[in-house]
Amino acid sequence: MGCGLEVQQSSKGFKVRGDRDHPSSVGRVCIKGATILESVQKDRLRSPMWRESLDGAFKRVSWEFALDTIAAKIRESVERRGPDSVAIYGSGQLFTEDYYTAQKLLKGCLGTNNFDANSRLCMSSAVSAYVQSFGSDGPPCCYDDLEQTDCLVAIGTNTADCHPIVFNRFRDHKKKNPDAKLIVVDPRATATTKVADLHLAIRPGTDIDLLNGIANLLVEWGKVDREFVAAHTTGFESFEAIVEHYPPERVAQRCGITVEELHQAATYWAESGCVLSLWSMGINQSREGTAKARTIINLHLMTGQIGRPGAGPFSLTGQPNAMGGREAGGLAHLLPGYRTVKNPEHRAEVERLWNLPAGHISPDPGLSAWEMVEALENDALDVLWVAATNPAVSMPDLHRTKAALRRSPFTVYQEAYHPTETSAFAHLLLPAMQWSEKTGTMTNSERVVTLSQGFQGSLGEPREDWWIFAQVGKRLGFDGQFAFESSEEVHREFRELTRDRPCDTTGLDYSTLIEFGPQQWPYPTGERPNTAPKRLYTDYRFNTEDGRARFVAAHSNGLAEPPDPAFPLVLTVGRLYGHWHTQTRTGRISRLEKLHPEPFLEIHPRDAAALGIEDGDALEVRSRRGRCELPAKVTRAISPGTVFAPMHWGLLWSNTAEVNGLTHPEACPQSKQPELKACAVAVCKLVPTVTEPAADAPAETPNRAIGEAPANSNGNSDSSSNGSTDPVSSSEALPV
C-alpha cells in the first residue's frame, strides 16, 4: 500500500499516526502501521557475528572483519569458479537504494545476474503478464480508481485483511454509491467477501476457466468493444477461438459454482461503466500465474476497460518496496530502469552508465529464488548472501530448502532482528538498520514514490543495506563505482538509469520529495509536483513495438498437484490481518499476538464430519513432503475439499506449524513463481501420545533457532526439540 506515517516526538518518545497529506493512504493506517514502533527496537541484531561452521556458536566480530571476510570469500569463489558461484537473495523490504547498490555489485561489477528476491514468490507473475500484454511492467491504475469504479473485481486477493487501506478506500466509496458492485473470487470466505455483492468460491486453480467463461458470455452477448479491439490490440481472433471452448455449464462445473453465479459475474462486468480488477497472491502464486494474470488483462482489453478513471487491471504488490525493486532491476532477469539482461541494448546502456567495459554484464538471467536452492543442492554456489527475507520460513518445500541451506559453504545473512529462523543457517550475520533509522525511497502499487526518512538512532552497530553492499564493492576493487556517501547520492545515480524509460523518475530528487511529499511516476525531468493522479495508457498506446496491447489467451492446466485418494484435500496458505509474514515484527507486539494467538487449519464442516474432526481438535496435516500439527477450525468460510492455514508460524513461533514444509516448488514456467497457494494434503485427528515428564527434566531449552537440530529423515525438522515458543523472552540467552 505504501501508507504514509507521521512521526511525532513527545516527552514519552515517538508516536505515529496516519499522514493526512499522503496521497495513497490519506491519513489512514492499519493495525500494523499503528503498532510498528512497539517492535522496531526489540530483539535486534546488534553487531556482526561470525562462526566457522553451522554447529559452532556465533562470536561478535567487527565490521572490518565481516566485510573483509565477505570480500575475500567472493574473490576466492570468483577466481576459482567464476562469478556465477555467488548469489544474493534479497527482498521487497529493501529500499530502492539498497536494491540498486546490490544490482550494481552483482550484475555490474561481478558480472553475474544471480540476484533474486522474495518478490519472485510474490509478484513476478504480474510482472511477466504486464510485459507480455503491454510490452512493459507497471500497474496502470491508481488508488483513486477505487473511488471511481462501478465494479471492483477482487480475484485471488483478501484485500480487506492484506491491503486494508486499499480496501477501506473502496468500501467508503461503495457506502456512498451502493450501486457500485464488488465481486470477490476466492475459495475462502474472508473479510473481503463480507462486503461482496457476489462471492465466487471457486475451486483453487480454476481462475482461467472462470475468466475465459466470463469472456465467452461477453462475446455471446455482443459486449466486445470491437472498436477498441481493432484500434489498439492484436491477437483477438485467437483469443476468441480459445474462449469458445468455455461454455457456461462446463465452466461452472469446473469451478464448482453455479451457472447463475457465472452469469451474474458476466452481467456485472458487461453492465458497469468502469470495471477495476484487483489481484494478488491467489493469482500470482500459481504454476500458471502469468497466464492467470494475462487472462484478467484479456477481459479488460476485450471490453476497453483500461486507461480511464475507475477502470483497469491492477495487481497489488505485497511488500513495501517490491515495486521499487522492479524499477531497480531486483529480479534475476532484470536490469535497472525496467530493462532486461537479455536485451543487448539494455546491457550496453547500463554498462555505459556504470562506467564498465562493454560486455561486462552477462546476457543470461541469473538464478531465481528456487533455482538458488537447487544450485545449493548441486554445490554450485560458494557464497549465498541473504538480505531482508527469512527463507527458512517462506520458501516452498521447506525441509528441502533447509537441507540445501545447510549445504551452503558460506552464507551471509543481513537482517534487522535476531534470531530469525534463517540465522540458524548463517555463517556471518550482518546487522541491518531498518525503517525509522535509515533514509530511502519506496514505490507502492500505484507508482507513488515516498521518501522514508530516518528519525531515530539504532541500538548497536547496524548499517544501511546499501552501505554494506557498497563497502563490499569497494573492497573488491570497485572504488569508483561505490563512492556513495549517502542514500541520496545512490538515488541520484539510480534516477539517471530511469531516464526515458517507462518508470522515468529523473525529476524526482530527495528535495522534491521532502518539499512536496510523495509523487507518482512517470516523473521525468521538468515534471511539476502534485499533479492529478497519473494513469498509464490513457492514450491507448502501449509499450509494445506496434503500440498495441496483446491478447495472449491460455487454457488452464489446473493445479500442479491435484488432490488424489492419498492426499484428498487442497491446502491453501495465506495471511491474517494482524501478522506480517514471519512475525519478526508483529510477533513482538502483544496486541497482535493476542489477536492471533495460534496457527490453525480451516476445514469445512462436511470434510470435518467425514474425518470425525471437531472444532479445536489437534490435527495432523501431511503432504508428500512434510507434516504439521494444527488445531482444527471447523468453518463454512472454507470451501469443501479445500483447507486453509496461515503462513506466519515458523519454527521460532511454533514447533509444529511450518506450513511451507508441506508446499511444493512447482512454478510458472514464465515467471518462475512457485505455486505456494496449493498443494495436496491428507488431514487426520492427531492421536495424542502421553509422555510423563521425568522428575528431573530440565527447564525448557531456550531458543532452538541457533544451531538448530538437522531435519530428520521424515522431514519433521524439529521433532527432538522442546524449545521455548517465546523467542522474545529467550533471545537474550543466545550462544553469542
Ligand X SMILES: Nc1nc2c(c(=O)[nH]1)N[C@H]1C(S)=C(S)[C@@H](COP(=O)(O)OP(=O)(O)OC[C@H]3O[C@@H](n4cnc5c(=O)[nH]c(N)nc54)[C@H](O)[C@@H]3O)O[C@H]1N2
Please report, as ranges, the residues that interact with ligand X according to CB under 6 A. Answer: 91, 93, 118, 121-122, 155-159, 161-163, 185-188, 190, 204-205, 207, 280-282, 285, 318-319, 387-391, 393-394, 414-417, 420, 432, 434, 465, 572-575, 577, 579-582, 584, 647, 659-660, 663, 676-678
* 440-443 vs 448-452, strand pairing mode: antiparallel
Smallest separation, CB 92 to Mo ion (Å) = 7
- Cell match 464448482: residue? 256
Which residue type sits at 184?
V
State the binding partner of 394 from Mo ion, ligand X, none, CB within 5 to 8 A by kind. ligand X
The rounded distance, in Å, linking the Cα atoms of 71 and 473 is 8
Task: Name the binder of 337 from Mo ion, ligand X, none, CB < 5-8 A by kind.
Answer: none
Instruction: Kindly indicate which of the ranges 317-325, 407-415, 506-514, 524-532 contains the residues binding Mo ion, using the contact rule CB under 5 A.
Output: 317-325
Q: How far is the CB of 542 from ligand X (least distance, A)?
A: 26
Query: Would you give the DSSP letter of residue 105?
Result: I
- Cβ(193)–Cβ(184) under 8 Å? yes
Least CB distance to ligand X at residue 549 (A): 23
Closest contact distance (angstroms) between CB of 642 and ligand X is: 8
Per the DSSP assignment, residues forming a β-bridge with 339 are 335
Measured from the CB atom, the residue of 580 and 653 that comes closer to ligand X is 580
Select 180 or 705, whichever has its Cβ closest to ligand X: 705
CB nearer to ligand X: pick between 335 and 386: 386
CA distance linking residue 732 with residue 23, whole number of Å: 41
Nearest distance in Å: CB 389, ligand X: 3
Chain residues 73-132 in contact with Mo ion, contact rule CB under 5 A: 122
Q: Which does 186 bind (CB under 5 to 8 A by kind): ligand X, Mo ion, none?
A: ligand X
Alpha helices in 135-225 (DSSP H): 159-162, 164-176, 207-220
Residue 149 binds: one of ligand X, Mo ion, none (C-beta under 5 to 8 A by kind): none
Within 554-593, the residues that bind Mo ion by CB under 5 A are none
Cβ atoms of 549 and 233 closer than 8 Å: yes
Query: Angle, to 10 degrees, between the axis of helix 487-496 and the axis of helix 465-475?
Result: 80
CB of 646 to ligand X, least distance (A): 8
**Separation of first and last alpha carbons in the chain:** 38
Q: Which residue is nearest to ligand X (CB)?
A: 318
Q: Cell 516526538 belongs to which residue?
A: 9
Number of residues that bind Mo ion (CB under 5 A): 2
Q: For residues 135 and 318, which CB has a smaller minimum distance to Mo ion in the complex?
A: 318
Return the number of the residue (369 or 470) whose C-beta is nearest Mo ion.
369
Q: Tally the residues of the chain.
A: 736
Host H or E run for residue 43? none
CA angle 627–287–632, rounded 5-degree value: 30
563 burial via Cβ count (<10 Å: 0-12, 13-18, 19+): buried
Contact 293, 315 (CB under 8 A): yes
Nearer to ligand X, 375 or 395 (CB): 395
Compute the CA torsion angle 347, 348, 350, 354 (nearest 10 deg). Answer: 130
Sheet holding 519-520, edge to edge: 440-443, 448-452, 519-520
CB of 161 to ligand X, least distance (A): 6
Q: Which of Mo ion, ligand X, none has residue 647 at its interface (CB below 5 to 8 Å by kind)? A: ligand X
Q: How far is the CB of 146 from ligand X (least distance, A)?
A: 15
Q: Which option in ligand X, Mo ion, none does residue 432 bind, with CB closer than 5 to 8 A by kind? A: ligand X
Q: What cell does 515 get?
A: 518539499
Q: Which partner in Mo ion, ligand X, none is near 581 (CB below 5 to 8 A by kind)?
A: ligand X
Binding partner at 412 among Mo ion, ligand X, none, C-beta below 5 to 8 Å by kind: none
CB 163 within 8 A of CB 192: no
Q: Which three cell numbers stand for residue 220?
A: 455471446
Out of Mo ion, ligand X, none, what residue 375 binds, judged by CB under 5 to 8 A for its kind, is none
Tell the smallest beta-carbon distance from residue 415 to ligand X (Å).
5
Rank residues 66 and 676 by Cβ distance to Mo ion and give the closer one: 676
Q: Least distance from C-beta 149 to ligand X, angstroms?
A: 18
Residue corresponding to grid cell 543495506: 465
Among 18, 318, 366, 674, binds Mo ion (CB under 5 A): 318
Decide whether 232 or 579 has the Cβ nearer to ligand X. Answer: 579
Q: Using CB distances below 5 to 8 A depending on partner kind, what does residue 207 bind out of Mo ion, ligand X, none?
A: ligand X
CB 564 within 8 A of CB 331: no
DSSP state of 598: S
How far is the C-alpha of 343 from the C-alpha of 696, rounded, in Å?
A: 67
Residues that bind Mo ion (CB under 5 A): 122, 318
